[in-house]
Amino acid sequence: MKKSIFLLLAITGVSLISCKYDDKKTNSETTATIEITDAQQDYLGITNKDKLSAASKRALEWPTDLGNDWFFEYKVEDLKGDFAYEEGVVRRDPSAMIKHDGKYYTWYSRSTGLSQGFGGDVTKDKVFPWDRCDIWYATSEDGITWKEEGLAVARGEKGAYDDRSVFTVEIMIHDGIYYLCYQTVKDPYSVRVKNQVGLAWSNSPNGPWTKSEEPILSPADNGIWKGEEQNRFNVEKKGDFDSHKVHDPCIIPFKGKFYLYYKGEQMGEQITFGGRQIRHGVAIADNPKGPYVKSPYNPISNSGHEICVWPYNGGIASLITTDGPEKNTVQWSPDGINFEIMGVVKGAPHAIGLNRTADNEKNPTEILRWGLTHEYKSWDYQYIRGFKTWNMKNHTAKGEKATSKE
């Protein structure tokens, strides 16, 4: 994993290596202690061996076999059938795809109508596209043309922890049982509302589904709001990285236990040099139904948005997107907790629904070769689309040999 550590230093621009040097020393004095081979100088394009910038010093710590197995490009495309865009209907946040009886299955958030934001009456209006959602599912024989099969998990009865919305769902299969984990909101959907995570299970992907009576994961209870105004940025104490919300749950069976990965939002969330303060965490259980105990090492990322994780090479890989100083990176951990950067990408599809039928070990990003995503047609309406990725092997200009894809 030494390779990954060096990549982390190089990619993020965090000059930890330079911290080893005395600030009082000149650049020439520190450079004199670094030995550079002719091959290194040629490969990295360094002008002078005796005059090294901080960037060149970091580059010299890179391994010689950087490779590109973790680097990919992507495109998105329309799907057919019931996943074609439908005005007035929100379909978003597709789960991973599984296969059953020759058909692909996916679950997703579904709602209808316009979103009013927090400016209206939150007890009556629809606040966000993911507000007032239920979880539906669809099937496909080829992954392109989809048939909407109907409701899978509905919002709870009035007064329940999930009575306002159930959304952003993920699927897991274990010992013949199907598990759906998802976000929940209790009415009213106010600015300071604290999302939780629910669970449902069934003997069949077609249901019926039994829901957990209580949430399986909740935000940390150690932040303190300031005042009574519905202002999520006004805090006396921010608390843990997940003191406001727990989002985008995904359960992965790993090393005989069940790892529930999730996105945390902190009370008083700020904008920093990396953008929004969004981080990921993990909670671990001995049983799929819990209880789930948050790792004492949380947060396990300092960046990211939607959870996108998969098993690879005895560990867990994670695609980190959208927010934070390490956004648009692919990371890997041998223990599911300590992640290191393996590659940087130009971007990635939103809200990825992975193809869980893929051969994870064929390539680090094989599971990303094709899958589902969502796209905003407008702020109010989103629809589910497909995506494809490929490993990029070389770069060419017009008229040259075409870029190799895998």
Give the pairing of strands 278-285 and 275-276.
Answer: unpaired
Q: Is the pLDDT of residue 35 over 70?
A: yes
Residue 67 phi, psi dihedral angles, 5° rounding: 65, 180
Q: What is the share, in percent, of the chain residues with pLDDT greater than 70?
A: 90
Distance CA 362, CA 378 (A): 37
Torsion over CA: 290, 293, 295, 301 (sign): positive
Would you say residue 20 has pLDDT above 60?
no
**Residue 191 CB neighbours (<10 A):** 13
What average pLDDT does range 368-380 have in this prediction? 97
Global pTM? 0.89
**AA letter at 156:** G
Percent of the chain whose predicted confidence (pLDDT) is above 90 = 83
Q: Check whether 11 has a pLDDT greater than 70.
A: no
Q: Decide which of 362 and 28 is more confident.
A: 362
From the number of C-beta atoms within 10 Å of its C-beta (0-12, 13-18, 19+), residue 160 rates as middle
Q: Quote the pLDDT of residue 402.
A: 61
Name residue 382's beta-bridge partners: 376
pLDDT-based confidence at 337, cuts 50/70/90? very high
Average pLDDT over residues 70-74: 95
**pLDDT surpassing 60 at residue 50:** yes
Instruction: Assign 54 a pLDDT band (cuts: 50, 70, 90).
Output: very high
Architecture of the 72-391 domain: 5 Propeller (2.115)
Integer Cα distance of 268 and 154 in angstroms = 31
pLDDT value at residue 213: 96
Confidence of residue 6 (pLDDT cuts 50, 70, 90): very low
Which residues of the chain does CATH 2.115.10.20 include? 72-391
Looking at residue 118, what DSSP letter applies? G
Asked if residues 156 and 196 have their Cβ atoms less than 8 Å apart, the reply is no
**Chain centroid offset of residue 328 CA:** 10
Q: pLDDT, tens digit, for every residue of 154-196?
A: 999 999 999 999 999 999 999 999 999 999 999 999 999 999 9
Statement: residue 331 has pLDDT above 50: yes
Determine the pLDDT at residue 396. 79
Phi, psi values for residue 263, rounded to 5°: -95, 135
Exposed, middle or buried by CB within 10 Å (0-12, 13-18, 19+), for 91?
A: buried
Task: Answer yes or no: is pLDDT of 255 > 60.
Answer: yes
Query: Angle at the Cα of 281 (from 90 to 329), degrees rounded to 5?
Result: 75
131, pLDDT greater than 60: yes
Position 110 confidence tier, pLDDT thresholds 50, 70, 90: very high
Residue-wise DSSP of 91-134 = EE----BEEETTEEEEEEEEEES---GGGS-TTTS--STTTT-E
Is the per-residue pLDDT at 349 higher than 90?
yes
Mean pLDDT for 283-307 is 97
